[in-house]
Amino acid sequence: MIVILYNDCQKGVILMAQELGTNDLGTYSYVSRVYNENMRLADYQLPKNAENGEQVFFDTDEIHLTMQIDNQRVTKITIVTPVPQSSTYMQVFEGFEFGLDALGTWINTYHRSTSSHGHAADVVNGILADYNTTKDNVLTVSLTRAK
């Protein structure tokens, strides 16, 4: 006889595993919620709902942000900025960094890319941050689940 004990704590763990995902960054509702909880700039809040496919959320002079969403799961987040030292870029990136609980070495990765005007990448908590800074100082950073 097998007895399975189920309580609210286990329910929370199962729900969180479903939200986070092992092959993606999590459900769109999860990613947008945790990002928005860490985003102080009202103009850069994500909507609560989004369609599947490649979605453009911000397209300003400072930030071009897209997400690839498949079956309501975020597989890739891409941020492009011509001003990588701007506080707007920093806050947008930190919305994901803090929201996805991926604090760690990414600030060093950012500095390696922006100071060398080249490529740098690191994984924190299973999330790959892939940076590339052009000679013209345009930074592109993509967040995906590390494979």
- 2 within a domain of the structure (yes/no): no
Task: Tally the domains of the chain.
Answer: 1
pLDDT at position 111 is 94
Residues 77, 96 contacting (CB under 8 angstroms): yes
pLDDT digits (tens, 9 = 90+) for 87-139: 999 999 999 999 988 887 898 999 999 999 999 999 999 999 999 999 999 99
pLDDT at position 12 is 45
- 29 within a domain of the structure (yes/no): yes
pLDDT digits (tens, 9 = 90+) for 75-85: 999 999 999 99
pLDDT at position 132 is 98
- 1 within a domain of the structure (yes/no): no
pLDDT band with cut points at 50, 70 and 90 for residue 59: very high
- Cα distances (Å, whole numbers) of residue 96 to 40, 52, 58, 65, 127: 12, 19, 14, 12, 11
Contacts of 126 (CB under 8 A, 6+ apart): 145, 146
Instruction: For the chain, count helices (H), then strands (E).
Output: 4, 7
Domain that holds residue 84: 8-145
- What is the pTM for the complete model shown? 0.86
- 56 within a domain of the structure (yes/no): yes
- 126 within a domain of the structure (yes/no): yes
pLDDT digits (tens, 9 = 90+) for 2-14: 434 444 444 444 4
Q: What is the mean pLDDT of residues 54-73?
A: 98
User: Among 76, 83, 85, 136, which residue's Cα sits nearest to residue 107?
Assistant: 85
- 3 within a domain of the structure (yes/no): no
Q: What is the mean pLDDT of residues 5-32?
A: 69
- 51 within a domain of the structure (yes/no): yes
Q: What is the mean pLDDT of residues 47-63?
A: 98
- 69 within a domain of the structure (yes/no): yes
Q: What is the mean pLDDT of residues 25-35?
A: 97
pLDDT at position 4 is 43
User: Among 139, 110, 138, which residue's Cα sits nearest to residue 124?
Assistant: 110
